[in-house]
Amino acid sequence: MDTWLNNLWHGVTLGGNEVMRSLMVALLSLVIMLVVVLVVIWLERKVSADIQNRIGPIRTGGVLGFVLQSLADALKLLMKEDLRPAGADRWPFYIAPYLVFLPAFMAYMILPFSATWIPQDVKIGILYYCAVSAVPVLGIAIAGWASNNKWSLLGALRSAAQLVSYEIPLGLAILAAVLLHGTLETGAIVRSQWLNPWLTLLTLPALLIFLTAGLAEVSRTPFDLPEAESELVSGFNTEYSGMRFATFFLAEFSASFFISALAVTLFLGGWSLWGLDLAWARHVFHWDTAAWFVDGALVPAAIPFVMKAFWFAVFMVKTFVVLWILMWVKWTLPRLRIDQVLNFGWKALLPAALANLLLVSLVGAWLQPAGGDTPGRPAVVNAIVLPGVGPPGAADGDAAGSPASAPGRP
C-alpha cells in the first residue's frame, strides 16, 4: 500500500511539474509573440512609408514614437465599444476572433530560436504546425457567417477558397524539406543544415514556393482578397469593433512573423551560420567547441551564454530580413482578382510544388546510402557527410558523432 501511494504521489508531482512547465512555456511564448507584434507593426509603418515615399507620424513620441504609437493604438481599441449586430449569431460571433488568434499563438511553440532553446521540441513539430494552421480558416468562416452581413460572408467564402488553394503548395514545399532532412522535428532540420550547409541550395525553389503560398495563407497583398477594402468594405471582420477587431490583426501580424521564422528554420539554416559560427568560436574566442557535445548531443550547460545569445540574434535577424521582403512585396504589388488568385494557386503554384517535390525526392534517392540508414540518423544526412570532414564542433578531421544524429532534444 505504501509503495502504491508513493508511486501515485511521484506521478502527481511529475505531472504537476510538467503542467507548470507547459504553462510557463505558453506564457513565455505569448509574451514573445506580443513583443514581436509590437515591433512588426512599427516595421510595417516604416517600410510602407519608405516604399511609398510618405512621411509617417512625426508628432508622436519622438525617438520612442514606435512604442507610444502602438500603445496609443492599443488604448484606442480597448476603449472602443464592443458592438454586435442585432441579427448576428451571438456565441459564434464572439468566439470566431479567438479561433483565428489562438493557432497563431500556439504555432510559436515549435520555433527553434536557438540551438539550446526551443519552447516545445516535439518530434512531430512540422505535423503539429500543419494541424494548427488549418484552424484559422474555420474562425474566419464563422466570423463571416455569424456577422449576418453579405460583405462579411463573401470575404469568408473568399478566404476559405484561397486558403484551401494555397495550403496544398505550402504543405508540398514543407514536405520537400522534410524529405531532404529526414525528420519532422524543427530543431533537427536546423541541425541538418548546420552539418551540411549546401542542402540550403537544394531547397531554394521550395523556399520561393513556401513564401508565395505563405503570403496567401496570411492574406497579405497581393492575396488580401478576404478583406479587400475597396470591394468588401473590410471583408469578414466588417462588423467587428474594439479588441475583437484588433484580435484579427494581432493574428495576421503574428502569423506573418511566424511564416518568416518557419521559412528561416526550414530553408535558411535557422539559428546557424552554416558552420561558420563554430569556426568563429574556435578561431576568434578559442573555445573548445568539441566539449559542447557528448555522444553527438549538444550540452547546453557547456555552451557560453554569449554563443547562445549570438544564435538567438542570428535567428531573429534572418527572420526580420525575410519579413521585410514580404512587406516589400505587399507595398509594391497591386491586389489580384479572386479568379487570378485561384488560377495562380491551382494552375501555376501547385504544379511547381509537385515538380519541386519530385526533384527533391530524386535527389534524396540518389544520396541514399546503399547500405541503408544508420539508426537514429536521417538517411540523407547520413549519406552526405563528407569523408574526413567532422561535424560542427568536432576537431579538424574528426568525423565522429554529429548534432544531426543526436537523439532527443538539443
Q: Is the pLDDT assigned to residue 290 strictly greater than 50?
A: yes
Quote the DSSP letter at residue 110: G
For 316, the grid coordinates are: 531573429
Q: Is the pLDDT assigned to residue 34 strictly greater than 70?
A: yes
Q: What pLDDT score was predicted for residue 374?
A: 37
193 vs 78, which has greater pLDDT? 193
Q: What pLDDT score was predicted for residue 323?
A: 93
CB 308 within 8 A of CB 115: yes
Q: The pTM is what? A: 0.80
Write out pLDDT tens, residues 145-168: 888 888 888 888 888 888 888 989
Beta bridge partners of 169: none
Mean pLDDT of the chain: 77
Percent of the chain topping pLDDT 90: 15
Q: Is the pLDDT assigned to residue 47 strictly greater than 70?
A: yes
Percent of the chain topping pLDDT 70: 80
* Bond before 222 cis per omega within 30 degrees: yes
72 vs 309, which has greater pLDDT? 309
